[in-house]
Amino acid sequence: MKFEFYDSKKRKKLIEQLNERFGVTEIPKLLFETGKERVRGFTGDLTIDELYDLSKITNIEFLGAYLFKPDEERSVRLGFDACVLFNKQLSKNIIDISAEQLKIWMKGENLPFVIQKGMYLVRHENDFFGCAISDGEKLINFVPKERRLRRN
């Protein structure tokens, strides 16, 4: 499995993008990108060298928490867990939805929502429920399949 640690330059660029889009100014101390182009954060006691050694014997993709997916066209997309982790920092591009809309959203369905095209965070009351991309007419859902409600 390919993975690459973020150096200070890459990390600074990521923080700038996150701040501009969502208001995030602080991220975990160690970031790395896995083969699936997903950025994971790790705050444990292992060093980078120890993590490289660990990657030789196990799948390092299971280490840390999935936080972001870089998206050249749309900046950065926050993962579902990152919304919880950065809850107190999130202050920009937030769409508040109703309880009824939340039920639809958590089933993995898109929501009709006329808003400017772009990346948004979906919030109900004080809780965030992932990212969405607006095409101008609807919010496109990115709730992971394992987090969705069953369709009963």
- Phi, psi at 83, each rounded to 5°: -60, -35
User: Is 76 in the same domain as 122?
Assistant: no
* Domain containing residue 102: CATH number: 2.30.130.60
- Tell me the pLDDT tens digit for each residue of 93-130: 999 999 999 999 999 999 999 999 999 999 999 999 99
- Tell me the pLDDT tens digit for each residue of 14-73: 899 999 999 999 988 788 887 777 888 888 888 888 888 887 887 766 778 888 887 766
User: Is 75 in the same domain as 132?
Assistant: no
User: Is 47 in the same domain as 78?
Assistant: yes
Q: Please, what sign has the CA dihedral across residues 99, 95, 84, 103?
A: positive
Nearest Cα to Cα of residue 96 among 139, 143, 66: 139
User: Is 41 in the same domain as 99?
Assistant: no
Last residue of a domain, one of 40, 62, 91: 91
Euclidean distance between CA atoms 64 and 57, whole angstroms: 16
pLDDT at 45: 86
pLDDT at 1: 55
User: Is 119 in the same domain as 138?
Assistant: yes
User: Is 82 in the same domain as 125?
Assistant: no
Q: What's the domain range around 97? A: 93-152
User: Is 112 in the same domain as 69?
Assistant: no
Domain count, the chain: 2
User: Using 50, 70 and 90 to split pLDDT, how confident is the model at 87?
Assistant: very high
* Domain containing residue 61: CATH number: 3.10.450
User: Using 50, 70 and 90 to split pLDDT, how confident is the model at 132?
Assistant: very high
